[in-house]
Amino acid sequence: MKNILPILILIIVFVNCTSQKYDNQKPADFSVKIIDDINSYDTKTGIYIRQYINRDSTIKASITQKELNMIYELFKQYDFMSFPDEFECQMITPTKIPAFETTIEITYKGLHKKVANSDFCEKKIEQLKSDRFNEFSEAVKKIINNKSEIKSTKESDMFFM
């Protein structure tokens, strides 16, 4: 019994040390850039770009620290750093055209991670992670699109067939 106690303590300490993958507090360099078929936003610059047929519209719409903290919590919750750089299609799966891609670039503690996902194919090799990426992307877009400067921007006139 005496020999088991130190081993159990070591196991508990090891599990606690390795289970915390992300810092509790948002690092100072944390930033997000999200790009989809028509819009892009960069938290570092506060620049939002919406594409139109004949032009692009650039808007300054900085997010608050509270909003950036919300995005950081989502980043941790969805385990962004575990996503592959690109979600690959399964070998045999239905595809669609036109297909749209969302790319998210995150800077975290000096690391830069870029992840892309498209809706070209129905099934991905890492489908669960692809679904989680899409959920993360939609949650981030919801925070960004809630800015009054962005809400008041005219919808894009681009269309896809």
Position 112 in a domain? yes
The token pair at 81 is 């750093």
Within 8 A by CB and 6+ apart from 101, the residues are 36, 37, 116, 117, 118, 119
Position 5 in a domain? no
Position 157 in a domain? no
pTM more than 0.85 = no
Cα(78)–Cα(117) distance, rounded to whole angstroms?
A: 15
HSE-CB for 110 with a 13 A CA cutoff: 0
Number of domains in the chain: 1
Q: What is the mean pLDDT of residues 126-151?
A: 93
Between 77 and 6, the higher pLDDT residue: 77
Between 158 and 124, the higher pLDDT residue: 124
Average pLDDT, the chain: 85
User: Given this model, what pLDDT does residue 68 score?
Assistant: 97
Domain that holds residue 56: 22-151
Position 12 in a domain? no
Position 17 in a domain? no
Position 127 in a domain? yes
CATH number at residue 71: 3.30.1560.10
Position 56 in a domain? yes
Q: How confident is the model at residue 134 (pLDDT cuts 50, 70, 90)?
A: very high
pLDDT at residue 31 tops 80: yes
Position 8 in a domain? no
pLDDT at residue 20 tops 80: no
